[in-house]
C-alpha cells in the first residue's frame, strides 16, 4: 500500500514544495501518476482497493485529457529544460491513448511561437556598421 501511495506523496511534495504551482509540471505529473498507478495495480494484489484505483485512474485520465487541450500547458512543459520535447517522445504511448502525439505537441508549440515572434527575424531595419 505504501508503494502505491508513494507517487501521490511525491506529486504533492512537488506541487506544494514550491511557492506556487507551475503549469510546466502539470502534464509530466499527470502522465507519471497514471503510469505509476497502472504499474502498481498490475504489480500488487490490491483487490480491496480496486474501486479506488479505478476511480483515481479515471479522474487523472480526465484531467490529463483536459490538460492536453491547453496550449500554454504544452508550451510550458516543452520550454522547461527538465522536460523539453524529449519527455513527450518518451511518453508517446501514453499520449497516443489520449489522441495526441509528441509531434502534435511540437506543432502546437511552433504555432504559438510563430504568433509571438517573427521567423526569421526582420533585420531589414537594422543598419550594419
pTM of the model: 0.75
Domain range enclosing 61: 2-116
Task: Note the pLDDT of residue 86.
Answer: 96
Residue 19: inside a domain, yes or no?
yes
Tell which wins on pLDDT, 126 or 15.
15
The answer to whether the CB of 34 falls within 8 A of the CB of 94 is yes
5, containing H or E segment: helix 2-16
Looking at the structure of the chain, the number of domains it has is 1
| Average pLDDT, rounded, for the chain | 83
CA distance 74 to 68: 7
Local structure of 117: helix, strand or coil = coil
Task: Note the pLDDT of residue 36.
Answer: 85
Summarised one tens digit per residue, pLDDT across range 93-110 is: 999 999 999 999 999 999
Amino acid at each position: 500500500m505504501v508503494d502505491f501511495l508513494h507517487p501521490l506523496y511525491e506529486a504533492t511534495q512537488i506541487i506544494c514544495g514550491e511557492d506556487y504551482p507551475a503549469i510546466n509540471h502539470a502534464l509530466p505529473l499527470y502522465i507519471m501518476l497514471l503510469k505509476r498507478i497502472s504499474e502498481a495495480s498490475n504489480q500488487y494484489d490490491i483487490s480491496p482497493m480496486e474501486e479506488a484505483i479505478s476511480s483515481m485512474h479515471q479522474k487523472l485520465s480526465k484531467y490529463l485529457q483536459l490538460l492536453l487541450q491547453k496550449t500554454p500547458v504544452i508550451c510550458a512543459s516543452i520550454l522547461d529544460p527538465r522536460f523539453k520535447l524529449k519527455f513527450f517522445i518518451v511518453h508517446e504511448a501514453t499520449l497516443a491513448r489520449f489522441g495526441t502525439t509528441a509531434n502534435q505537441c511540437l506543432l502546437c508549440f511552433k504555432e504559438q511561437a510563430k504568433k509571438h515572434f517573427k521567423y526569421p527575424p526582420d533585420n531589414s531595419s537594422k543598419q550594419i556598421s
